[in-house]
Amino acid sequence: MTSDPRYRALFLGAGPQMQCGVGHFTRLLQERTEKRDPGSSTTLTLTRTEGTFGESWRAVGSAQSVVCNFPIVAWKRVILAPLLALAMAKLRRRKIVLIQHEWGGLHWLRRLTYIPALLLADSIIMFSPLVRRELADDPLVGWTAGKSVLAPLPPNIEAPKETADSELRRRLAAARKAGRLVIGHFGSIYPAKQPNALLHIGAILKARGLEPLIVYIGSFIRGVDNVEEDFRARAAELGIADDVIVSGFVASDQEVFGLFNEVDAFCYPLDEGLTARRSSVLTCVPSGRPLIVTGPAWPDEFDHHRRFKQLIDRGAIVLVPRGSDDDAYADRIIAALKTPSTQAPFDFDGWWQDAAKAISVKTT
Predicted confidence (pLDDT) per residue in 96-105, tens digit = 999 999 898 8
Task: Decide: pTM greater than 0.85.
Answer: yes
Calpha distance 238→80 (Å, rounded): 43
Q: What is the mean pLDDT of residues 344-355?
A: 88
Parts of the chain belonging to CATH 3.40.50.2000: 7-156+351-363, 167-345
Q: Measuring CA to CA, which residue among 32, 121, 34 is closest to residue 82? A: 121
> What pLDDT was estimated at residue 180?
95
- ∠ CA 79-85-87 to the nearest 5 degrees? 100
On the question of pLDDT at 114 being above 60, the answer is yes
Q: Measuring CA to CA, which residue among 212, 214, 216, 213 is closest to residue 228? A: 216
Superfamily of segment(s) 167-345: Glycogen Phosphorylase B; (3.40.50.2000)
The second-level CATH assignment, the architecture, of 7-156+351-363 is 3-Layer(aba) Sandwich (3.40)
**Which helix (H) or strand (E) element contains residue 88?**
helix 80-91
- 227-258, pLDDT tens digit by residue? 888 899 999 999 999 999 999 888 899 999 99
Calpha distance 229→225 (Å, rounded): 9
Higher per-residue pLDDT: 220 or 233: 233
Q: Which residues of 149-182 are buried (b: 16+ CB within 10 A; e: fewer)?
A: ebbbbbbbbbbeeebbebebbeebbebeeeebbb
Higher per-residue pLDDT: 335 or 21: 335
Percent of the chain with pLDDT over 70: 93
Query: Which region holds residue 199: left if phi is over 0, alpha if psi is between -120 and 50, else beta?
Result: alpha
Q: How confident is the model at residue 344 (pLDDT cuts 50, 70, 90)?
A: confident
On the question of pLDDT at 343 being above 80, the answer is no
Q: How confident is the model at residue 313 (pLDDT cuts 50, 70, 90)?
A: very high
> What pLDDT was estimated at residue 244?
95
On the question of pLDDT at 1 being above 50, the answer is no
pLDDT, the chain, mean: 89
Q: What is the mean pLDDT of residues 343-355?
A: 87
- 22-79, pLDDT tens digit by residue? 777 888 888 888 888 888 899 998 877 777 889 999 999 999 999 998 765 554 456 7
Query: Helix, strand, or coil here: 96?
Result: strand
Strand partners, 176: none
* Amino acid at residue number 228: E
- 182-200, pLDDT tens digit by residue? 999 998 888 777 888 999 9
On the question of pLDDT at 331 being above 70, the answer is yes
